Structure formats: structure tokens, C-alpha cells
């Protein structure tokens, strides 16, 4: 197991956002977390990446207890995330944004006197080619299209060369064509680079099209966990969430 | 890959000419201008170094420190006290000024980097005033409101022209180092923190630790400016540590443009020379400065240098089109 949580609990006031969630993720999987709005998907993500600390329970990454580690240490261990609301660098160029991630991952950020432009040229261009942003490399992040910002965020997360990538609604606000191409790309990452992907998504077409395993959250509780077929067949999931739509 | 490189080289040739021109002007200045204005020029260079160090935190890292004068004053006091009270060698005293500023910068920074935004500004202001009050009240040790007199440079630097060249050399070297820091991987990390600190933390950067490093570097260069000032003025006074002094680099940077490396330098030169010129006529110069700053904030939000660069870039683009 690359990631495991044990009886993870997080309360906000009286709201039980994560209710004793025990969950495990196999290396090389594309794993979706689904559930209605307010089911606790984002909170669960935040507990894994260290944005929030749980009230009780534990998180393990490759067998190591990371429950109390700060976000930057988890990133150094190989967990990187994207955000639901696109989180980019508005005034940095696309090239520099990806370069920043590589500098951080390669521990070059305490080099004080060499020009940053000299670092990781090939790696940055490779990532930009991969996500299809090479032709916009010298434009600032705030002046590219919404779909491209999502790609940029993906490019930046790839700059940290993660083993586990958490994507919070990676296709939110994208056109069907853009969604298609980003999903193909994510599949390629898993098949060719051996990444493990955990993602949340509203679009059930995307979820059932790409996920190899699916977990369903409802009011903070994990109510189903299995292959897409198993989840689709689960009566409880039908009742609380899918409602016959899928 | 090649595209970025060649573009950079072209830019450097195109944009570098004015830098050589300015350095040449700086070198011949003592032959051209009166001694009064040479002193003003020396002051402008020292204050420019102060403003550049400030802008490492403000323009590059995106946090506004409002107690930087404490490090400027500590640089001056550190050097002056070692020189006059303990009769230490000039160069040792000079280095001590920088060291004291950096060390206190580290202690103060440990607290300040826990906060961001306005809370960071207020805490730096509070620490700045605290250091000011200690120096102001501790009469037996620091001379209190009398300050320290008789801070003389070594014999070969006593001539105003010689000391001017000394300032010019130190300024150019420091500016070069700061330029390289800002364009290094460390500088890029600070910019990323300014643009989106949450994203940057999730890329594996411990934000507070990097803020602290930048804070100490800034304090050290600010202390260097203070250590240059004391022998230039032959004395230091507690007013060099006061919050009013902390406001000077803030205003100069906003006037010149925080987004460009030389913005704070242009702003400092404008403020220093306008001040020196207007004092000949009127004591109401703060009114004129206030109006100037208001105009820049409303009309040129990128500062004067930011405005010039924008116009220049647009012209370059138009020239390239046909």
C-alpha cells in the first residue's frame, strides 16, 4: 500500500467532516473519491496532504507515519496535490512556475548566487511539452485560458516529481475536449511513469471512464470502496448518491 | 530551449547600456558637480542600498517590513561604538556593524516570520521601535540622545571624494550581490512565496525558514548601509533607528517601483535630491513629497521606473512588428 489512513477523524465545530475513515491506496492505481457536495472529499484530501491535522487517527505513506508532518515535508516524501480552485503563480511565466517546482524538488532553492535560468532547462521543457504548454512558456500564468491554467497546475505538481499525485477536481470548468485530453494525459502518467493518482471529480463520466478503483464518501463516512463495477452495483451508493444516473 | 537563451542575451545587450552609462556618470561625478551635491550623491547611494535591501523583502518576497531602520541604525551604532569606545580597527568595526545588524535580524526575524501581511509589518515596526527605545534610553552604553560623535574613517578615506568612491564601490558590489540573489533559485523561491505561498508550501518549501533567510540577508545589507553612513556623517544619532527612517525606503520604493530591481534606487535618488534642492527654499518639503507620492500611487501604480519600462517595452514591440 502506498497510502493508508486509519480511523481518520476531523471535526469542524459540530460538523463531523471525516468520520473514522480507514482507506488504502495501491501503488499504480487511479483511484477516485466521489460523493455528494459536502461529503468530506476535500477535507479528506486536506488531511492526507497536511493542510489540516486530524483530530484522531493516522496517515501512513509507504509505511511511514506522516500524520503530523507539515505539507512541505510530505511533498519532499513524494506527495503532491493540485487544488480545486486553480492555484497558480499569476505573475510568473509558465516556464518559471514549473522551474520553481523543480528547484524545490531538487533542493536547489538555497543556491544564492547562480542564475536560476541555468537550472533544469531540459526537464522544464519536457514537462511543458508533455502537458502541451510549450508554446505559451514565456507568458505569465494569469494570461492563459482557464483550461491551460489547470494544465499549468498539473505541470507545476509534476515538477516535484511526485510518486502520489492528489488531484482535486482536475477537470473542473474544462470543456469536454479539454477534459478528454487531460484524462488521457493522466492515464499516460500512470502507465508510463508509474505514478499513483488519487482524485475527486464531479463528472461521473470521467470517474467511471478512468478510475480503476472508487471510494464513496457520504457525510464523512466511507460507504463503499471497490472497482467501478462493485461501486455501481452497491445499493447504498445508488440510494445516497448515484440515484440511478450512472 | 535555445529561444529563451538568445532572448536573454539580446535583452542584456539592449538593456545593459544605461547601466554602464550610470556607472560612468558615477565615476566622473566628483569632477563635475559641487562638493555639496557630491555629499548628497553619497547619501543617495547609501539610502539606495538601504532601499534595495528593503525591497528584497517587499518587492521580491511580498512582505512589507516597517522596522528596517533598526538594522540601519544598528549597523551604524555597531561600527561607531567599536571604533570610538574600544578603538578598534576601522575595517573590523565596519564588519562588526554588519554582524550586529545580521545577528539582531536573526533574533527579531525568528518572531516576525511567523506572521504574514499586515501582522508581519506591525511586528517588525514594534521590534524596530523597541530597539530604538533601548538605544535611546541606555545612555551609559550608547550615549542616548547625544548619539556617538567622532566616527572618523581612516586617513585615506577622509577626503570627501575618496569616501564617495568608497561608497560607490560598496554600493555597486552590494547591488550586484543582491541582483544575483534575486535571480538565483533562492530568489525565485521568494517570488513564488510572494505570488502564492500556499502553492509554494505544497511544492515542498518551508515558508517561514525562507522568510527568515531573506530577513537576515536584508538586515545584513541594511546594516552595511548604516555602517557606511556613520563615518560619512562622522556620527550616529538614535533618530537613524526610528520608524520615520523605516518609512523612507518604503516611500522611495513605491515612488520608483517595487517590481523592478532599480526601482528603489530611482525613488531614493528622486527623494534625496528633491529634498536637498527644496530645503534651500522651503521647510514645507514634506508637502511636495506627499503630493508626488500621491500622484505616483494614483497615476503610475507600477512606480516611475515601472511606467518607463512599460512604455519602453511597448515601443520595442511596435518596432519589431513591421
Per-residue confidence band for A47, with pLDDT thresholds at 50, 70 and 90: very high
Which segments of A39-116 does DSSP mark as H helices, in order?
Answer: 41-49, 71-77, 94-105
Q: Tell whether the model's pLDDT for residue B5 goes beyond 70.
A: no
From the number of C-beta atoms within 10 Å of its C-beta (0-12, 13-18, 19+), residue A63 rates as: exposed
Please tell me the distance from the alpha carbon of residue A61 to that of residue B196, in angstroms, as a whole number: 26
Secondary structure class of B96 (helix, strand, coil): helix
Q: What tens digit of pLDDT does each residue of B37-53 get?
A: 999 999 999 999 999 99
Across the interface, do B199 and A76 touch by the CB < 8 Å criterion? no
* 8 A C-beta contact, residue B71 and residue B105: yes
| Contact B195/A at CB under 8 A | yes
Instruction: List the beta strands (DSSP E) in A84-233.
Output: 164-168, 196-200, 213-218, 221-226
pLDDT at B77: 97
Q: What residues of chain A have any CB closer than 8 angstroms to a CB in chain B?
A: 49, 70-73, 75-76, 80-81, 83, 87-92, 95-97, 99-101, 103-105, 108-117, 119, 121-122, 125, 137-138, 156, 159-160
- Considering the four listed CATH numbers 1.10.10.60, 3.90.470.10, 3.10.560.10, 3.40.50.300, the one that applies to the domain covering A1-78+162-246 is 3.40.50.300
User: CA torsion angle for B14, B18, B24, B30 (degrees, to 10)?
Assistant: 180
Task: Give contacts of A71 with chain B, Cβ < 8 Å.
Answer: 201-202
Which chain B residues have a beta carbon less than 8 Å from that of A120? none
Are A22 and A32 within 8 A, CB to CB? no
Range of the domain at B97: 36-242
CATH 3.40.50.300-classified regions of chain A: 1-78+162-246
Please indicate whether, in this complex, the C-beta atoms of A110 and B180 are within 8 angstroms of each other.
no
- In terms of C-beta density within 10 A (0-12 exposed, 13-18 middle, 19 or more buried), how is residue A163 classed? middle
CA distance B78 to B99: 8
What is the reported pLDDT for B284?
81
* Spatial CB neighbours of B210, under 8 Å, sequence gap ≥ 6: A109, B186, B189, B190, B193
The percent of residues above 90 in pLDDT, for chain A, comes to: 62
> Does residue B116 sit within a domain?
yes
CB B26 within 8 A of CB B168: yes
State residue B7's pLDDT score. Answer: 59
Which residues, including other chains, have CB under 8 Å from residue A141's CB and lie 6 or more apart?
A88, A89, A90, A91, A92, A93, A94, A97, A149, A152
What is d(CA B246, CA A173) in angstroms, rounded to the nearest whole number?
A: 46
CA distances from B157 to A136, A203, B35 (A): 53, 74, 15
pLDDT class for B148, splitting at 50, 70, 90?
very high
Taking an 8 Å cut-off on Cβ atoms, the answer to whether A115 and B180 are in contact is yes
A112 and B180 within 8 Å at the Cβ level: the answer is yes
Across the interface, whether the CB atoms of A116 and B187 are under 8 A apart is answered yes
Q: Which helix (H) or strand (E) holds A17?
A: strand A15-25
**Does the beta-carbon distance from B4 to A138 stay under 8 Å?**
yes
- What pLDDT score does B232 carry? 96
pLDDT in tens, A65-82: 999 999 999 999 999 999
CA atoms in the 13 A half-sphere facing the CB of A176: 2
Interchain proximity B181–A103, CB inside 8 Å: no
- Chain A residues with CB under 8 Å of B181 CB are 112-113
Residue A246 has a pLDDT of 41
Using pLDDT thresholds of 50, 70 and 90, give the confidence band for residue B1. Answer: very low
B157, pLDDT greater than 90: yes
Structure letter (DSSP) for residue A67: T
DSSP tag of A61: E
**pLDDT at residue B6 greater than cutoff 90:** no
Q: Which of residues 167-186 of B touch A (CB under 8 A)?
A: 177, 180-181, 183-186
The answer, yes or no, to whether residue B4 has pLDDT greater than 70, is no
> In whole angstroms, what is the distance from residue B163 CA to residue A75 CA?
51
**Cβ–Cβ contacts within 10 Å for residue B180, how many?**
15
**Helices A176-193 + A146-159 axis angle, to 10:** 10
Picking from A146, A132, A115, the residue whose alpha carbon sits closest to that of residue A182 is A132
What residues of chain B lie within 8 A of the CB of A166, using their CB? none
Q: CB contact, 8 Å: B317 with chain A?
A: no
Contacting residues of B for A158, CB less than 8 Å apart: none
User: Where does A66-175 have alpha helices with state H?
Assistant: 71-77, 94-105, 121-131, 146-159
pLDDT for residue B2: 47
| Cα atoms in the 13 Å half-sphere on the side-chain side of A209 | 14
As a whole number, mean pLDDT of residues A209-235 equals 90
Q: What is the pLDDT of residues B72-98, one digit of tens each?
A: 999 999 999 999 999 999 999 999 999
Q: Using one digit for the tens of pLDDT, what is the confidence trace for A133-153?
A: 999 999 999 999 988 998 999
Mean pLDDT, residues B59-72 taken together:
97
Question: What tens digit of pLDDT does each residue of B243-299 get?
Answer: 999 999 999 999 999 999 999 999 999 999 998 888 888 778 888 888 989 999 999
Distance CA B156, CA B322 (A): 57
Which of residues B105 and B7 earns the better pLDDT score?
A: B105
CB–CB contact B204 A76 (8 Å): yes
Neighbouring CB atoms inside 10 A of B244's CB total 10
Task: Name the residue among A246, A210, A239 with its Cα closest to residue A227.
Answer: A210
Is B13 a residue whose pLDDT tops 70?
no
* Residue B102 lies inside a defined structural domain of this protein: yes
Buried b (16+ CB within 10 A) or exposed e, B131-143: bbeebbeeeeebb
Residue that is written with C-alpha cell 515601443 in the block = B315
- Residue with more model confidence, A246 or B165: B165
**Minimum mean pLDDT range among A201-205, B4-8, B58-62, B308-312:** B4-8
Instruction: Report yes or no on B260 lying in a domain.
Output: no
Across the range B133-150, mean pLDDT stands at: 92
pLDDT at B3 exceeding the cut of 80:
no
Mean pLDDT of chain B: 92
Question: Nearest CB to A103: which of B7, B177, B188?
Answer: B188
Instruction: Give the whole-angstrom CA distance, residue A81 versus residue A158.
Output: 10
pLDDT at B322 over 60: no
Distance separating alpha carbons of residues A63 and A1, to the nearest angstrom: 8
| Residue A245 reports pLDDT greater than 60 | no
Q: How many angstroms away from the CA of A155 is the closest CA of chain B?
A: 12
Average pLDDT over residues A20-30: 92
Give the residue-averaged pLDDT of B200-206. Answer: 94
Contact B1 A137 (CB under 8 A): no
Mean pLDDT of chain A: 90
Amino acid at each position: 500500500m502506498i497510502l493508508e489512513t486509519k480511523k481518520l477523524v476531523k471535526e469542524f465545530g459540530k460538523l463531523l467532516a471525516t468520520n473514522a475513515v480507514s482507506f488504502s491506496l495501491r501503488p499504480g492505481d487511479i483511484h477516485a473519491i466521489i460523493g455528494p457536495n459536502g461529503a468530506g472529499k476535500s477535507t479528506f484530501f486536506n488531511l492526507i496532504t497536511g493542510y489540516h491535522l486530524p483530530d484522531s487517527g493516522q496517515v501512513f505513506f509507504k509505511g511511514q507515519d506522516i500524520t503530523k508532518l507539515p505539507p512541505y515535508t510530505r511533498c519532499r516524501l513524494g506527495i503532491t496535490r493540485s487544488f480545486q480552485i486553480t492555484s497558480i503563480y499569476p505573475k510568473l511565466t509558465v516556464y518559471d512556475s514549473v522551474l520553481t517546482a523543480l528547484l524545490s524538488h531538487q533542493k536547489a532553492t538555497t543556491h544564492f548566487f547562480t542564475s536560476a535560468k541555468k537550472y533544469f532547462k531540459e526537464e522544464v521543457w519536457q514537462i511543458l511539452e508533455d502537458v502541451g504548454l510549450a508554446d505559451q512558456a514565456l507568458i505569465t500564468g494569469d494570461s492563459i485560458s482557464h483550461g491551460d491554467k489547470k494544465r499549468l497546475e498539473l505541470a507545476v505538481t509534476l515538477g516535484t516529481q511526485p510518486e502520489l499525485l492528489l488531484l482535486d477536481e482536475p477537470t473542473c470548468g474544462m470543456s469536454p475536449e479539454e477534459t478528454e485530453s487531460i484524462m488521457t494525459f493522466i492515464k499516460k502518467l500512470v502507465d508510463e511513469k508509474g505514478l499513483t493518482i488519487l482524485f475527486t471529480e464531479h463528472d461521473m463520466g470521467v470517474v467511471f471512464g478512468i478510475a480503476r478503483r472508487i471510494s464513496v464518501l457520504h457525510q464523512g463516512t466511507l460507504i463503499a470502496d471497490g472497482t467501478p463495477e462493485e461501486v455501481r452495483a452497491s445499493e447504498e451508493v445508488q440510494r445516497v448518491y448515484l440515484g440511478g444516473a450512472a | 530551449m535555445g529561444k529563451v537563451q538568445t532572448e536573454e542575451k539580446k535583452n542584456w545587450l539592449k538593456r545593459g547600456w544605461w547601466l554602464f552609462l550610470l556607472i560612468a556618470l558615477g565615476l566622473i561625478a566628483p569632477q563635475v558637480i559641487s562638493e555639496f551635491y557630491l555629499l548628497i550623491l553619497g547619501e543617495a547611494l547609501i539610502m539606495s542600498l538601504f532601499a534595495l535591501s528593503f525591497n528584497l523583502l517587499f518587492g521580491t518576497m511580498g512582505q512589507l517590513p516597517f522596522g528596517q531602520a533598526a538594522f540601519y541604525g544598528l549597523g551604524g551604532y555597531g561600527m561607531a561604538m567599536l571604533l570610538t569606545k574600544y578603538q578598534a580597527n576601522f575595517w573590523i568595526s565596519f564588519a562588526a556593524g554588519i554582524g550586529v545588524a545580521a545577528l539582531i535580524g536573526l533574533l527579531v526575524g525568528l518572531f516576525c516570520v511567523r506572521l504574514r501581511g499586515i501582522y508581519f509589518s506591525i511586528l517588525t515596526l514594534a521590534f524596530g521601535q523597541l530597539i530604538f527605545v533601548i538605544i535611546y534610553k541606555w545612555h551609559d552604553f550608547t550615549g542616548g540622545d547625544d548619539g556617538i560623535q567622532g566616527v572618523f574613517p581612516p586617513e585615506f578615506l577622509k577626503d570627501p571624494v575618496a569616501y564617495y568612491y568608497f561608497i560607490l564601490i560598496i554600493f555597486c558590489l552590494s547591488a550586484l550581490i543582491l541582483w544575483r540573489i534575486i535571480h538565483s533559485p533562492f530568489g525565485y523561491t521568494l517570488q513564488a512565496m510572494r505570488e502564492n505561498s500556499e502553492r509554494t508550501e505544497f511544492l515542498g518549501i518551508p515558508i517561514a525558514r525562507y522568510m527568515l533567510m531573506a530577513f537576515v540577508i536584508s538586515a545584513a545589507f541594511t546594516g552595511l548601509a548604516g555602517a557606511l553612513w556613520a563615518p560619512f556623517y562622522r556620527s550616529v544619532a538614535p533618530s537613524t533607528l526610528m520608524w520615520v527612517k523605516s518609512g523612507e525606503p518604503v516611500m522611495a520604493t513605491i515612488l520608483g517601483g517595487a517590481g523592478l530591481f532599480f526601482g528603489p534606487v530611482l525613488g531614493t535618488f528622486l527623494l534625496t535630491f528633491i529634498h536637498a534642492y527644496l530645503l534651500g527654499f522651503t521647510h514645507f518639503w514634506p508637502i511636495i513629497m506627499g503630493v508626488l507620492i500621491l500622484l505616483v500611487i494614483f497615476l503610475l501604480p507600477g512606480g516611475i521606473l515601472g511606467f518607463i519600462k512599460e512604455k519602453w517595452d511597448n515601443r520595442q514591440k511596435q518596432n519589431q512588428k513591421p
